[in-house]
Structure formats: structure tokens, C-alpha cells
Amino acid sequence: MLYILIALICLLIVGSIFYYNTLVNKKNRMKEAWSGIDVYLKKRYELIPNLIETVKGYVSHEQKLMQNLVRLRNEAIQTQQNQEKINTEHHLSENISRLMLIAENYPDLKANTNFQQLQTQLETIETEIELSRRYYNGTVRENNIQVQSFPSNVIASIFGFDNGIFFEINNSAEREPVKVSF
């Protein structure tokens, strides 16, 4: 009887160690995925001042939009919490999209070589952000499954492992399919 009790205790300890290590692994993969997003966000932050400088000469009456872009860029750079950064990123993306839509009305701006290069760089960065966001959301999903599933949820609650936050699209315009007219 004593051997059975010792075996059960050993099994409980080994199981706890296994689930703890799995939770640590999921958490670290989530952090790694977020840092991948962060790299591309920083590249976009560095591109915004150049974009504003290029557009400023053509679109002088859109000062409020330019100021919003600068303000949101600075907020995003300073924000450390993932949820706050995600919210700021949504607003920043909306304003960048608005700027690009406004640029469509200025043929001279669209023909500007510097603007075209910046636009191409921005599109490349946005694609990389999207790919990184997918990977990050996958790691969040895996983490959340582990944190919420029995018996690892017991270990997660004891050691303070939390659910991750998905990087979702809040902008309804981003969710809508692109309309093409011929």
C-alpha cells in the first residue's frame, strides 16, 4: 500500500513538472512570436516620418491626420503592454490607410518616386506584420488551450499562467473584401 502511495505521489510530481514545463514553453513561444511582430512594427514606425515628410508638401490641408499619425506613432513606440499596443496599432493602421486613400486624389504625389518607394516598403512591412500576426495568434491559441485544459489548468492557476491576448482586426473596413470594379 505504501508503494502505491509513493508511486502516486511520484506520478503527481512528474506530471506537474511536465505540465509546468509545457506551460513555460507555450508562454515563451508566445513572447517570441510577439517580438517578431514588434520587429516589423518598429520598421513601420521608422517609415512613418518619411511618409509624412513626402506627403506633407502635397496634402497641406490634412494637418490633423498628419498630427494623429505622429501622435499614434509615438504612443505605439512608448507602449509596453501588448493590449495597449494592439489598440494603438489599430488606430495607427486606420490613419495610414486614410492617408493612402487621400494620396489617391493627388496624381503628382502618386507619381513621386520617393512616395512610390515608401508605399512599396509599407506594403511589404504590412504583409510581414500580417504573417507575424498569424503566427503570434497561433501561439496564443496553443497557449490558451494549454492554460484552459485539465489538468494543466490546475498548474496554470497555481503558478499564475494567463491566457494570451489575440492580435485581432478591430477595423471593420479591414474585414471587408476588396471591391473591384471594371
User: For residues 179 and 182, what is the distance between their CA atoms, to the nearest angstrom?
Assistant: 10
CA nearest to 77, candidates 99, 92, 64: 92
C-alpha cell at 15: 506530471
Q: Average pLDDT in the 70-75 region?
A: 92
Kindly tell me if the per-residue pLDDT of 163 is higher than 90.
yes
pLDDT number for residue 117: 93
pLDDT number for residue 17: 96
pLDDT number for residue 171: 55
User: For residues 45 and 33, what is the distance between their CA atoms, to the nearest angstrom?
Assistant: 19
CA nearest to 51, candidates 105, 122, 1: 122
User: pTM for this structure?
Assistant: 0.82
Q: Average pLDDT in the 28-50 region?
A: 95
Beta carbons of 140 and 131 less than 8 angstroms apart = no
